[in-house]
Chains A and B, each alone.
Chain A
Amino acid sequence: MSEINVSRRGFLKAAGVSAAGLVIGFYLPGVRGRAIAAEAPAQQIQYPPNAFIRIAPNNTVTLLINKSEMGQGVYTSLAMLINEELEADWSKVKVESAPVAPVYNHTVFPIQLTGGSTSVASSWEQMRRIGATARIMLVQAAARQWQVPVDECHAENGVVTHKSGKKLSYGELADAANQLVPPTVVPLKDPKDFKLIGKSTKRLDSPEKVNGKAQFGLDVYLPNMLTVVVARGPVFGGKVKRFNADEARKVPGVKAVFQVPTGVAVAATGFWPAKTARDLLEVEWDEGPGGQLSTAGLMTEYTDLAKQPGKVANKHGDAVSALKEAGKTVSASYAVPYLAHAPMEPLNCVVDLRKDSCEIWTGTQFQTVDREAAAKIVGLKSEQVQIHTTFLGGGFGRRANPVSDFVGEAMHVAKHLKQPVKVMWTREDDIHGGFYRPMWVDSIEAGIGADGKPVAWRHTIVGQSITTGTPFEGFMVKDGIDATSVEGAADLPYTIPNLQVDLHSPRHEVPVLWWRSVGHSHTAFVVETMMDEMAHLAGQDPVAYRLDLLEGSPRHQGVLRLAAEKAGWGKPLPAGRAYGVAVHKSFESYVAEVAEVSIDDGKVRVHRVVCAVDCGRVVNPDGVRQQLESAVVYGLSAALHGEITLDKGRVQQSNFHNYPPLRYTEMPTVEVHIVPSEAAPTGIGEPGTPPVAPAVANAVFALTGKRLRSMPFDKTTLA
């Protein structure tokens, strides 16, 4: 625990978050127990069950979920964890998003957030304990009412039953249970007794997502609310010099045009007049140095840097000497572009700012960070600001912004207008809006010995740090190395006696952010395509070669074997088809993918992706399958089509016609196979994304003999 506690304090300091605000217990009326937040060791934290569980007299059970639902199924999986121990009637369980309060903080990071594929892993014990605490109190309440010993009572399916046959429903017991002191000893079930965990369970949020009733941030309408769009500069870091809104103000429905730190805001009675007026604005910008940026220029700079030694992220043996002595060597350079997250729901934020309070409705992954930022902008205390977390129409990391861009801007707008506002981004605003997956250039030199095994590996990584300059810097950056830049590269699972991984972190105006799988989105690509090159250099089968080098990691081997077996690796394919494989660990989970591809009119066509995953104990197997299916599509969109490029500082893409996600007709068959495991649960939202690009690239090599070393693959014409 001490290590985590030190990190927590470091984080608090770095985040500028008031430590006192986080360690003060959170008191809820009707609960005598207090939450001892943040600094206490996890096993001693008591969570007042009614912060998470509300039981109505009609037996409806409402669970307040402290993670944002952005498609990953967390409302269902966390509800399953609570109810495994709560033993309520699952058909009566509903979920709501929790408000912002310290009791809802992440169990590892001392803030309320959803990210890093950590929700189930970090809530695994906490949520079950919350459910068990409430169940114990309900049983105690029943025992008290019947004046019988508690061990003669049993709770199941929302009813407490005495051995005599007497029954009381949870709804009947809730009030009495609420008056009791929560127990300090809360034993949890033996996993062999699990009823919900491990069984495919339908998502609780599906019914409202098929009839249009699900409420996303964009769907929030308040009385007297204005809709606002902001004209932001054409170049990152640019500032408004002057603007002329004469024509814009003439558009019927336009109520105000004014400057905010990010640009010029247009407020109107609805989106259409606001957008129409914005198109009529004349804005002169001071572009600053961002106007000089171009992808070509960055590529030259990065490629030069990749040839020079950088900060050492990992080193053992002497890779430089070993390369000189190696029997055979291979070297390659890789390039991957900036990527926009492009969630289907464009960013938006609704704010109702009053004199001494503020309510915000938005789909955010970062409640605490956004609340602190919002409060600061309008001069309120953070406790005076409440965030209602709506459904997120996709997140992928974009809605977890350490600098609270879309919430902060909406606060500036609200401060000016003094009436409820909805700030909306268009798709163009989203694609132009920055906070991209960084552009990366990698170079690798590797050598094999006479037995074909790798003897040397020298990898140099060039790309912007995501966390430098944010509150996460103190947490993620050590000795100049941002852990998110080198994850998946500095911690190779393969046995290589001489290894050096270097990092350059150039700084410039393009804002960057975590994008589904973060650093792994490029490191898996370069590492796994290079491993494939080495297998071919050694004249060995790519699966067998990896298995041999992964002797120290049976879980890597397990998924690799399973994916290969299920795909039919080694069996002949029809002419014009080939397999490629990749295996990668991220967010503590292991995923291997085998891709089956062909070439169609010079372009890669992916027919089938067979995934094997080991994410520890599985809470909702169908939820795991959904996430792998999703991660494959997200990764393929980037691998085949995705790129954000700059010219004279201007982003050259604007909407889905030139930043195309994978479409229906391009969808491969995705098969998901889960390795049975009793290990603690690990991440599932992201780990399926990293292996797909290298698996496809390796399949293309097997088919054509051509190595794909840059994304998107569309830019390379294949034969």
Chain B
Amino acid sequence: MLQPSDMIDKFLVITQTLEVIPTLKAISEFLNRAFNETLGVKSVYICHEGKLYASGNEDIPHDACSLCKITSYNGSGCKISDMYGFKVINLRTLRRNYGYMIINTLNPPEYAKYEPFLRNTSNVLARIIENRQITEELNNAVEKLHFANLSLEVDVIEAQKKAHLGTFTYDTATRQSNWSLEMYKIWGIDPKLEPPVYTELTKYTHPDDYRRFNDAIRASVEQYNPYDLDIRIFHPDKKTEKTINVIGEPILDNAGKVVRIRGSHQDITERKKMEQELIAKNDFNNLIMENIAEGLSVSHAVEKHPYVLFTVWNNRMTGITGYTVEEINSLGWHNALVPDIQQQRCARERMEESRAGDKLINEMWEIKSKDGQKKLVSISTSTIRDSESVVHVLAIVQDITDRKKIENDLIRASYVIEQSPIMVVITNTNAEIEYVNRKFTDSTGYTLNELSGERHVIFKSGKVTHNGYDTMWEKLTSGRQWQGELNIIRKDGKEILASVKALPLRDADGNVTHYLRLSEDITDLRRLETELRQSQKMEAIGQLAGGVAHDFNNILATIKNYAYLLKTSLQKEDEQLAGFIDSISSSVDKAAYLTRSLLGFSRKLITNLRPVNIASVVSDIRSIFESFIREDINVQILIGKPEIMVYADSVQIEMVLINLIKNATDAMPEGGLLAINTDIITIDNHFIESHNYGTIGDYARICVSDNGEGMDEATKERIFEPFFTTNEVSWKKWTPK
């Protein structure tokens, strides 16, 4: 059995040796030999983190032997637990269990003697394992930190290089400086040299900046003021000039005395150059901005009143609103420009939506300018995001008050023209149509598309001489207006008569750019005028006839009676006289007929209106006219319907028919065909449009036609005139020779 002192010595040596043996395999070999030769232990194994370390064997991975709760080990394939005499000791520290020390002893009773030794050894081994793990973790951490530091140093050097920024510390006591590599580069000094003292640096400072630099450093040391200023420097070669930004911060000791100044110098030559270029560019931009014809503003949201702060507000904005940027920011744009609460709410919402990215495009707002005028403005916005992600709203504002008024006037004028009852045509100076109003298209049947670009000549009827048109164009091209009447051919070929006023249209400079033709359809008017004249003429005749007809009839009756008495008084041998008396009687009859006709025209004739069958009237009249119709005239009477009932005076109808038949026979001196037809027709709109008279309904029609010589236009125009006749010649026939 081990004696205590011997045990302590051996324990000390073993544990101290274990401390320096680096691997568990070597430790297991060492313990194996030590315990074997000194304690009689057959073998020692160490189980740690899934591996079994044993003397003479490879480190054996194992899942779990039954001893260390993970299975099997053994080169020969048997389990350790199956082997005899194994004792397992935990490799445990206060922190955790690191595995097991497995003791294989051939003599279990002896184990008890040296178990404390083995347990103490296992405790030391556990602590060694723990210390090594901690050391390894620490080393790893230190290594990572080391690499991180190295990386950081490299990064700092690289960053300084990229930023052209050097750092320094200046010891106020020793007046010595410590410079980073980039400092040397900035100042153009060999990095192998010691950093120059600051008084030496001032020698390389631009004369205009020297005092500021010197004062800043002095103030930093004496008054603890940090400094930040831009200065110009020269390299020692005096050829290179740079602008650098110098920043210094005093470091105080516990007594409040400045012991160091630390700071940086940054080469900002390029930046300065760009800034100056930018300033020049900005000046130019500002010049443009202030002189553009439209209002321009830039604003962004702020947390407090006025909630929206305008940073750009050009002269035109002030012109439109009357407010300066200071006033608008002081009052708040919404209060100043949109005082109506309801409108203000809408306006602010729109501004918010605009800031959120919903662009306003030519949106029309009504604002109130500083002088109280209501103005209409058109606003378009877009957003800009600056480097700090602040959203700025760029607004372009146009004052459209006057333009809108003109637009409204034009819209009204255009509506009036479009709805005008007068035909309006606008042509260019080549007489090509550019505009026609609705009345024109309705009257002519053309559409605007059909007419657009067409020359005005398409409406020419040919009834106006070239000279007439020439006169019109001569006047127009000389800048004067023309007025007259023109016949216009509609699309369907029909003709309308128009009263036309044509005049040139001029631009602001007085140049003729277009021609305006105002036309009024006077076709109906002219027809009505004709009809009116006819009507008046008839009325005059009627009044004249009505006034004298009664007395004249009495005279005729007297003449006829005396003619009768005279004839009865004659002898038979006075045949010639009797013929004269018959002529007198016949003429009296004709005069009486004429008088009755006059009374008819004057509507003073008493008519006997009653239901009459026209077919019967026409049939019956054959017996009347057969007595005086010539044999060379072939009469055809065609009755369309046997019964055509009308409300009329049958005597007057007979008179009309007899007159027509008589005229027809007169028109056919060489003989011919006389046809009389009766039927029922319906007058509809189409009939009315075609004939310009009539009332819708069913009517009896009597047609009397012949194939005689016909009528010329002059005769046609006068056929409805009372007492008009072409029969003077035949009348003379009856005149006694």
Do the two chains bind? no
Q: A-side interface residues toward B, CB under 8 Å?
A: none
